[in-house]
């Protein structure tokens, strides 16, 4: 049974704790991979994993707010606006999954801040918004790259790498829209 099919997070957590005692185990795999078969092979998730997921969640929530700022700025032409909202949708999907996983592992998911103090005064044209978003996406790729090796659970690491790939594509498309080389190097760091 997948945790995604549980009716409530409480029910999912109860089942999780019932199976594993107080240990955070590889059942997080069930949430992220969509089935339980991998869970037994993936190793235990740790409290550290929950912290990694929560830090990533905080950044995803900020990215959602940043794209909303761009969308509301009236600086984006229609095709660019559609692109931004599409990317924002990806970040929403990331955030939703990360929050569910944190809760399933017994943690408390961070929530969006009421104010992000974005550099609004520096956003005067479409290119400024694109450059701002590109920097966030580049940073996100690096952040996930720096998080992947830290996971105790390999399936969580794999899921984070999947998100990393998505955000790298965002970064490349934003660079392309800015007239820059979309993929500036062979390696990311």
Partner 1 sequence: MNARSAGPRTWGAAIALALAATAPAAQDALRGEQVYARCLACHALASDRVGPRHCGLFGRLAGSVPGFAYSPAMKNSKIVWDEKTLDLFLAKPLKMVPGTSMTYDGVPDPGERADLIAYLRQANASPECRK
Residue with Cβ nearer partner 1 (149 or 179): 149
SS3 for 130? helix
Options 18, 77, 187, 189; binder of partner 1; rule CB under 8 A: 189
Total binding residues toward partner 1, as defined by CB under 8 A = 25
CA distance 71 to 75: 8
- Min separation Cβ 47 and partner 1, Å: 9
Options 7, 149, 186, 187; binder of partner 1; rule CB under 8 A: 149
Distant-in-sequence, close-in-space partners of 11: CB < 8 Å, separation ≥ 6: none
Q: Report the run of H or E that residue 24 belongs to, with start and end.
A: none
Residue with Cβ nearer partner 1 (6 or 50): 50
CA distance 81 to 48: 37
Distant-in-sequence, close-in-space partners of 135: CB < 8 Å, separation ≥ 6: none
- Min separation Cβ 165 and partner 1, Å: 15
Q: Does 116 bind partner 1 (CB under 8 A)?
A: yes
DSSP code of residue 73 = T
CA distance 137 to 59: 10
Strands (E), 91-189: none
Q: Does 35 bind partner 1 (CB under 8 A)?
A: no
Options 19, 96, 135, 183; binder of partner 1; rule CB under 8 A: 135
Binding site for partner 1 (CB under 8 A): 48, 51-52, 54-56, 58-59, 62, 116-117, 119, 135-136, 138-140, 142-143, 146-150, 189
């Amino acid at each position: 049974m997948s945790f995604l099919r549980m009716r409530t997070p409480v029910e999912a957590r109860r089942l999780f704790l019932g199976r594993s005692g107080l240990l955070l185990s590889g059942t997080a795999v069930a949430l992220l991979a969509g089935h339980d078969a991998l869970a037994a092979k993936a190793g235990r998730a740790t409290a550290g994993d929950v912290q990694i997921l929560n830090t990533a969640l905080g950044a995803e929530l900020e990215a959602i707010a940043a794209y909303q700022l761009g969308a509301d700025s009236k600086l984006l032409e229609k095709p660019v606006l559609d692109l931004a909202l599409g990317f924002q949708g990806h970040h929403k999907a990331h955030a939703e999954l990360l929050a569910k996983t944190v809760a399933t592992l017994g943690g408390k998911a961070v929530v969006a801040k009421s104010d992000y103090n974005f550099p609004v005064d520096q956003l005067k044209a479409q290119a400024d918004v694109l450059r701002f978003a590109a920097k966030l996406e580049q940073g996100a790729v690096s952040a996930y790259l720096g998080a992947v090796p830290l996971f105790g659970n390999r399936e969580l690491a794999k899921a984070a790498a999947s998100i990393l790939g998505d955000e790298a594509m965002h970064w490349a498309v934003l660079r392309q829209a800015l007239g820059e080389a979309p993929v500036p190097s062979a390696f990311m760091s």
